[in-house]
A and B are shown apart, each in its own frame.
Chain A
Amino acid sequence: RKEVEQDPGPFNVPEGATVAFNCTYSNSASQSFFWYRQDCRKEPKLLMSVYSSGNEDGRFTAQLNRASQYISLLIRDSKLSDSATYLCVVNTRASGSARQLTFGSGTQLTVLP
């Protein structure tokens, strides 16, 4: 089973649509959860951290279900600039304080005019 699993897409949606991405992770010891976005041939950029209570940042809402080992990202009122690959990322404590990020393969989103 993959450590972090995402639907690869692609998701093609019209501007203004609401789109949801899902992700599951296999390591129950995982401690921190993130959504990053990655534009073509660029670095991953932090979109938001995901907390157990769920959190919202403008048009973006992230949810975490630890019991089901499931993470989601909802984008409302999508913009052309939201077109990117969305990476589900899980952080598992390594020895000491250092942590390593485990990335999903990403879900590709294209927002169409």
Chain B
Amino acid sequence: EPEVTQTPSHQVTQMGQEVILRCVPISNHLYFYWYRQILGQKVEFLVSFYNNEISEKSEIFDDQFSVERPDGSNFTLKIRSTKLEDSAMYFCASSGTGGRSTDTQYFGPGTRLTVL
């Protein structure tokens, strides 16, 4: 069964450093998403991406965040200057095209980001 993959599984960084989180969505999906979950809290939407541009972003997704699809398979989330409060699990998700398949999002295993 196809699945979303993410690397690394755990990233530790110093405050102020840049991090790039990587995702490989399901191969025939065209919609891509990033979510985050701070420990003990609910999953929160960050950004959606379609046709090489951002479709929607939340208030969390400020100028410190950016997304990119650098090639035909990878989807990345960059945090330019990490803050302590960026420590969270970051989930990538993807969904298909057409009707209900666009609605159903499948999640990767996540990258645990720890900012020291």
Interface residues of A (CB under 8 A from B): 31-32, 34, 38, 41-46, 49, 87, 91, 94-106
List chain B residues, Cβ under 8 A from A104: 42
Instruction: Give A23 Cβ to nearest chain B Cβ, in Å.
Output: 12
Partner of B48, one of A34, A42, A87, A94: A94
Whether the pair B42, A100 counts as a contact (CB closer than 8 A) is: no
List chain A residues, Cβ under 8 A from B93: 101
Q: A100-B45, A101-B35 are in contact. Are A95 and B109 (CB under 8 A)?
A: no
Complex Cα distance, B45 from A43, in Å, reads: 14
Interface size on B, residues (CB 8 A): 29
In B4-35, which residues have CB < 8 Å from any A CB? 31, 33, 35
Whose C-beta in chain A lies nearest to the C-beta of B98?
A97
Complex Cα distance, B31 from A53, in Å, reads: 27
Whether the pair B50, A42 counts as a contact (CB closer than 8 A) is: no
B67-99 vs A, CB cutoff 8 Å, 1 = contact: the mask equals 000000000000000000000010101010000
Instruction: Give B60 Cβ to nearest chain A Cβ, in Å.
Output: 12
Whose C-beta in chain A lies nearest to the C-beta of B110?
A43
Q: A34-B104, A99-B102, A106-B42 are in contact. Are A44 and B55 (CB under 8 A)?
A: no
Complex Cα distance, B105 from A96, in Å, reads: 17
Whether the pair B108, A98 counts as a contact (CB closer than 8 A) is: no
Whether the pair A105, B56 counts as a contact (CB closer than 8 A) is: no
Complex Cα distance, B96 from A98, in Å, reads: 11
Complex Cα distance, B106 from A45, in Å, reads: 7
